[in-house]
Amino acid sequence: MLLIEGTTARGQSRVITIMSPLPHEGRSQLVAELAIAFSQLGRRTLLIDADLRNPKQHELFRIDNDAGLVEALALPDPPQLHPVEGMPYLAILNSGHIPPNPIELLSDDRLSKLVMNLRSTYEFIVIDTPPVSKYADGLTVAAVAGEVLVVSRAQHTGQKEMRSLLKRMGSTRAQVLGAILNHF
């Protein structure tokens, strides 16, 4: 964490996608904890829930999921960010309503423009994505973010799934910052 946190000293924001090969590897919980940790270090942090298939961040933070990333990408309105009570440096952009075409919505140039605009306000943007073995959404988001942390679960994720994810990551040109092995 200190390695990641220390690299923002140059005045540039960091956009980090958290992805995993399979469902139920603890990715969404890790995203929430990482965003909280950055904010507790006094870093302006935005958590984006880009898992438009099975979003979890609104449940973890107990916020409405009425308007979020989907609406920010589909409508000309500015994104509806949710502050987190007791954490002045953290905001959430939840997923919003589940769209019929998540990959199409995320592949559009609007995600790139949205992230570019948000970089001027936040030092860290941490993005939750669906499992890569089921959907390509995470790869699309990783290409926009440029940096990735890969999460796997002990006794759950096989080498085959990890190799497949890393191979598919090549097309994104995103830098893999490291891997986290969850055990719960």
Instruction: Provide mean pLDDT across the span 27-49.
Output: 97
Per DSSP, the residues of the chain read: -HHHHHGGGGS--EEEEEE-SSSSSSHHHHHHHHHHHHHHTT--EEEEE---SS--HHHHTT---SSSHHHHHHSSSPP--EEETTEEEEEEE---SPPS-HHHHHHSHHHHHHHHHHHTT-SEEEEE---TTT-SHHHHHHHHH-EEEEEEETTTS-HHHHHHHHHHHGGGT-EEEEEEEE--
Separation between Cα atoms, residue 37 and residue 29, nearest integer Å? 12
Which of 71 and 108 is assigned the larger pLDDT? Answer: 71
Q: What is the pLDDT of residues 63-100, one digit of tens each?
A: 999 899 999 999 998 999 999 999 999 999 999 999 99
Residue 2: predicted pLDDT: 44
Residue 27: predicted pLDDT: 95
State the Cα torsion 131-43-172-148 to the nearest 10°.
-50
Which of 157 and 11 is assigned the larger pLDDT? Answer: 157
Residue 46: predicted pLDDT: 99
* Domain covering 15-182: architecture: 3-Layer(aba) Sandwich (3.40)
- Residue 6 pLDDT class (50, 70, 90 cuts): low
Amino acid 128 reads: D
- Residue 8 pLDDT class (50, 70, 90 cuts): low
Residue 45: predicted pLDDT: 98
Residue 87: predicted pLDDT: 97
Distance from chain centroid for Cα 160? 23
Residue 173: predicted pLDDT: 87
